[in-house]
Structure 1
Amino acid sequence: MGRIVVCGGGVVGLSAALMLARDGHTVTVLEADPVGPPPEPAQAWDRWRRTGVPHFRQPHNLLPRFRQVLAEELPDMTGRLLAAGCVLMDTLTPMPPGIEDQSPRPDDDRFRFVSGRRPVVESVFAAAAEEQPDVTVRRGVRVADLLGGPPRCKGIPHVAGVRLSDGEEIRADLVVDATGRRTAAPRWLAHLGAEQPATEKEQGGFAYYTRYFTGPQQPLRRGAPLTPLGTVSLLTIPGDNDTWSITVVGSAKDAPLRAIRDPECFTRLVRACPAQAHWLAGAPISDVLVTAGILNRRRRFVVDGRPVATGFAAVSDAWACTNPTAARGLSVGVLHVQRLRRTVREHVADPEVFASAWDKATEQYVAPYYQDQIAADRVRIAEMDALREGGEPPLPDPVASRFAAAALRDAEVFRALLEAAVCLTPRAEVLARPDLMARIDKRPPQPLASRGEAGRPVLDRAHLLRLLGE
């Protein structure tokens, strides 16, 4: 078994450490933030500060794919999360009222998920890592560079460990980069003389305005968790210990939306949305938290068929990151770590084969979710921009429109739509099913979800501006 260094002690990095250590590897987790979680996970929201994670208190969702990976790889973790006050929810509830057959199916458990605020969830994983044999978590240490070792294949640098900012060197058979979207990996690799990874990037374009609440019980869901309403969308996520969050999502270019930072303005806007207004029936436990300027970016560490370096693997946001509109980050992250565990099992003894196999696994199993999110974001931003400027939104993709329309009235199509939305199956795989397309073809297309029956936005732009300006 090998020595593995994981750079980054967030949920994804700790998940990687737990999985790899349970396979017999010796794992060292290096986290730059000096302070760890409090003894009780429920205290993490109030007492834990993670300055290295700007989105630490922004909404996160543990989609059904997250729970599925835990069941397969870390079966004790769901129980730990529930014991910390996280809640078990069902994405099938409520089903659209137009679906007549709302009876359960034998495999409906796959749509259940655990929900909790990021500080509480991360504190549970941190506690598990502290208890796990062969895992050492070191906080307050910063990786300055990668250590080079004898090349394992001609012309390609080999990573043999890390050098910390104080000069300490830690040797490893594999270095895993889980430092997130701010990763310094390109600079580290350049210092080794490695070719730069192939990179694609674009500005995401969204701004997020979030407020957290608490109350005696979770609000009942009366619609989809993410609901487009003209030039804004509303995202509602249940949390742990009788908490929940409401997020208003808009275009970062939409200057009037900045008024939503004011709690009274935030409340007026949400109260004007019938399916979400009752989520305000609780006591606020935060100000309106704002984040924007998020970059969509993806790196590929195999260029022209050759790895840029061996002995190195980037996971989750250090590999690819998107806008958090659908709150997929942690779910796709643990899926990526699951593939890492399997690739390490098969190929860690051969660094060159490992690098190619890791790239192939990433492209096959994880990249489709990145591509799905990028495509959905581009469509939504274009729609928001057109409505804000008084124009007509671009025509929707006809297949997507028919898919969404059929899901409102067909139970099996609705489940298929959810499969793609919660990262159980990539959208292209879902739509490749002949029986599904036959069901979709029976249903005529409907207007966009963000538009009323007359083709007007559900939350009219003029009405929205009056709400912002009162």
Structure 2
Amino acid sequence: MSKIVICGGGVIGLSAATMLGRDSHDITVLEADPAGQPVASAEGWDTWERPGVAQFRQPHNLSSRFRMISDLELPGLTDDLLRAGCVWVDYLDSRSLPPTLTDKTPRPGDEAMRFVTGRRPIVEWAVAAMAQAAPNVTIRRGTKVREIIIGASAVPGVPHVTGVRTTSGEEIRADLVIDAMGRRSAACDWIRCAGARSPFEEAEDSNFAYFTRYFSGQQRPRRMGRALTPMGLFSILTLDGDNDTWSVTLFTSSKNKAMRGLRDTATFHRVVSACPRQAHWLDGEPITPVLLMAGVIDRYRRFVVDGRPVITGFAAVGDAWACTNPSAGRGLSVGLLHAQVLRNVARRHLDDPEAFSREYDAETEIQVGPFYRNQIAADRARIAEMNALEHGTPLPAPNPVMAKLLAASSQDADVLRGMIEIAMCVALPQEVITRPRVAAKLAEMDGYQIPPDPGIIDRHRMAALLDG
């Protein structure tokens, strides 16, 4: 039995703890926020304070990939989420399919795309209850880590982590320290202070601002368009929630000062009402004001540089490894995939620090890295569009493959399923476009001029909506 310390008790840290605890490792989770898990799931939204998670009450979504992994690695979690009030979502339900799609016949395997989702506090409550009951897992809340402890090197010239030291001075020894502290992780500073080479790190502000309002009602809104839809100067995100709730988010360039008016509830509702496929998502009782989030940093880290680990006895998982603009709602799903990679590598190499570091880095790049890179490319393209529309300059050329995929998805059942798999983290675009039926459809569109979406709100109408 190996001793493992996990720094961070959010969804991904607790999921990793449960997986590793079920593999008979001795797991200690150290969570800086002191508030314990509420007694009932419904209290998670109303009373659970998690200041260490800036996006705790911002929209989250669980995808088909999240459900697939949890059913395999964390059996019982899907049922726990449903008992907490989370709901099934099926983008291939006939009522959700585009009206322009003529072939609405169900296909074998469609059921695999169903998933269970809910608001972040409710999801985290269910995951925390699972981890609390998991074998070999101890969760300590209100315990903040100050630094890592370095012991004898496992690789000549490379510092080796043998535990952590808390802000109270307590030393907790471990065979492996896992950073699951999310976007605000200070682990790179810990590593440099320990005398190691700096990990590779790239970071930039994605320059998006998010305006969200939550609603409640006896009937969830019918989905008439994609969950995430570009509308010109902003994009609109509509997500199902737990316990008869849902959310509507408008996100835009944080540099566009006029769009800050979206924080006003009347302005927010006026703009959403102008979106023909989403206006009915306002038909509920508002349960929050318009919530603002900005200053979201895209960050990516690697702990093997030039083929050599900068440190051993250490691993970062989920957002502590890489994080992006959260509008696609994939963060928890990609994070759970990363936790699965971590578990599998630990099964093979936990007793060999160098092999563990090298393989974890390699498998992360192969299995998880493409999701990060695809999202970064999409973010940069979208913010460039928003900036061009704001200033009245020519729009940048769209990604031709993704533009054709998007256009074809409203007409072709195979392309639509591929697009849903991409959105649900089940497949990558690079894989979908190689499928014979999808490739044939895209080939038919060579030279086809994709018409503009008639629902897009131009800058002049947007100015009028903001002015009321």
Q: Please, what TM-score do these two structures have when normalized by structure 1?
A: 0.97
Matching residue within 345, 348, 361 for 1:346: 348
- Cα distance, 1:202 vs structure 2: 2.0
What secondary structure sits across from 1:234 in the alignment?
Answer: strand
Task: Tell me the amino acid that sits aligned with residue 51 of structure 1.
Answer: P
Give yes or no for contact 2:384–2:396 (8 Å, CA) kept in 1.
yes
- Cα distance, 1:408 vs structure 2: 1.5
Residue 396 of structure 2 corresponds to 394
Distance, in Å, in 2 between the alignment partners of 1:444 and 1:434 is 16
Task: Point out the more displaced range, 392-401 or 410-419.
Answer: 392-401
Distance, in Å, in 1 between the alignment partners of 2:197 and 2:449 is 48
- Cα distance, 1:91 vs structure 2: 2.2
Distance, in Å, in 2 between the alignment partners of 1:78 and 1:123 is 13
Residue 20 of structure 1 corresponds to 20
Deviations 1:418-443 (A, max 9, x none): 21122111221222334421222123
Matches within 5 A, 1:13-412: 13-93=13-93, 94-412=96-414
Residue 464 of structure 2 corresponds to 466
Distance, in Å, in 2 between the alignment partners of 1:255 and 1:465 is 12
- Cα distance, 1:96 vs structure 2: 1.9
Task: Tell me the amino acid that sits aligned with residue 384 of structure 1.
Answer: M
Task: Tell me the amino acid that sits aligned with residue 19 of structure 1.
Answer: M
Distance, in Å, in 1 between the alignment partners of 2:155 and 2:273 is 62
**Relative to structure 1, is the Cα distance of residues 445 and 116 closer, same or farther in structure 2, using a 3 angstrom cutoff?**
farther
- Cα distance, 1:201 vs structure 2: 1.9
Task: Point out the more displaced range, 176-185 or 427-436.
Answer: 427-436
Task: Point out the more displaced range, 275-284 or 198-207.
Answer: 198-207
Distance, in Å, in 2 between the alignment partners of 1:40 and 1:239 is 17
What secondary structure sits across from 1:325 in the alignment?
Answer: helix
Give yes or no for contact 1:402–1:445 (8 Å, CA) kept in 2.
no
Task: Point out the more displaced range, 313-322 or 125-134.
Answer: 125-134
Structure 1: which 5+ residue stretches go unaligned?
Answer: none
Distance, in Å, in 2 between the alignment partners of 1:282 and 1:75 is 34
Residue 4 of structure 1 corresponds to 4
Distance, in Å, in 1 between the alignment partners of 2:113 and 2:228 is 16
- Cα distance, 1:407 vs structure 2: 1.5
Deviations 1:24-73 (A, max 9, x none): 11100000000012111111100111111111000001011111111110
Distance, in Å, in 2 between the alignment partners of 1:133 and 1:270 is 47
Distance, in Å, in 2 between the alignment partners of 1:124 and 1:331 is 16
Distance, in Å, in 1 between the alignment partners of 2:86 and 2:169 is 40
Give yes or no for contact 1:230–1:459 (8 Å, CA) kept in 2.
yes
Distance, in Å, in 1 between the alignment partners of 2:450 and 2:322 is 29
Task: Point out the more displaced range, 200-209 or 136-145.
Answer: 200-209
Give yes or no for contact 1:406–1:444 (8 Å, CA) kept in 2.
no
Task: Tell me the amino acid that sits aligned with residue 342 of structure 2.
Answer: L
Distance, in Å, in 2 between the alignment partners of 1:338 and 1:452 is 39
What secondary structure sits across from 1:349 in the alignment?
Answer: coil
Distance, in Å, in 2 between the alignment partners of 1:189 and 1:425 is 34
Give yes or no for contact 1:405–1:443 (8 Å, CA) kept in 2.
no
**Relative to structure 1, is the Cα distance of residues 225 and 448 closer, same or farther in structure 2, using a 3 angstrom cutoff?**
farther
Give yes or no for contact 1:402–1:441 (8 Å, CA) kept in 2.
no
Distance, in Å, in 2 between the alignment partners of 1:67 and 1:358 is 23
What secondary structure sits across from 1:195 in the alignment?
Answer: coil
What secondary structure sits across from 2:326 in the alignment?
Answer: coil
Structure 2: which 5+ residue stretches go unaligned?
Answer: none
Distance, in Å, in 1 between the alignment partners of 2:215 and 2:401 is 38
Deviations 1:67-108 (A, max 9, x none): 111111012000000000000101224222222111111111
Give yes or no for contact 1:396–1:448 (8 Å, CA) kept in 2.
no
In angstroms, what is the RMSD of aligned CA positions? 1.3
Task: Point out the more displaced range, 401-410 or 115-124.
Answer: 401-410
Task: Point out the more displaced range, 279-288 or 89-98.
Answer: 89-98
What secondary structure sits across from 1:210 in the alignment?
Answer: strand
Distance, in Å, in 2 between the alignment partners of 1:336 and 1:417 is 22
User: Sequence identity, in percent?
Assistant: 53
Distance, in Å, in 1 between the alignment partners of 2:450 and 2:167 is 52
**Relative to structure 1, is the Cα distance of residues 267 and 191 closer, same or farther in structure 2, using a 3 angstrom cutoff?**
same
Distance, in Å, in 2 between the alignment partners of 1:167 and 1:445 is 66
Task: Tell me the amino acid that sits aligned with residue 57 of structure 1.
Answer: R
- Cα distance, 1:145 vs structure 2: 0.6
What secondary structure sits across from 1:152 in the alignment?
Answer: strand
Give yes or no for contact 1:405–1:446 (8 Å, CA) kept in 2.
no
Give yes or no for contact 2:98–2:224 (8 Å, CA) kept in 1.
no
Give yes or no for contact 1:91–1:113 (8 Å, CA) kept in 2.
no
Task: Tell me the amino acid that sits aligned with residue 320 of structure 2.
Answer: A
2:453 paired with 1:452:
yes
Distance, in Å, in 1 between the alignment partners of 2:135 and 2:304 is 33
Deviations 1:361-405 (A, max 9, x none): 100000000001001111111111111111221111222222222
Task: Tell me the amino acid that sits aligned with residue 194 of structure 1.
Answer: A
Deviations 1:224-267 (A, max 9, x none): 00011111111000100000000011111111111111111111
Give yes or no for contact 1:215–1:283 (8 Å, CA) kept in 2.
yes
Give yes or no for contact 2:158–2:309 (8 Å, CA) kept in 1.
yes
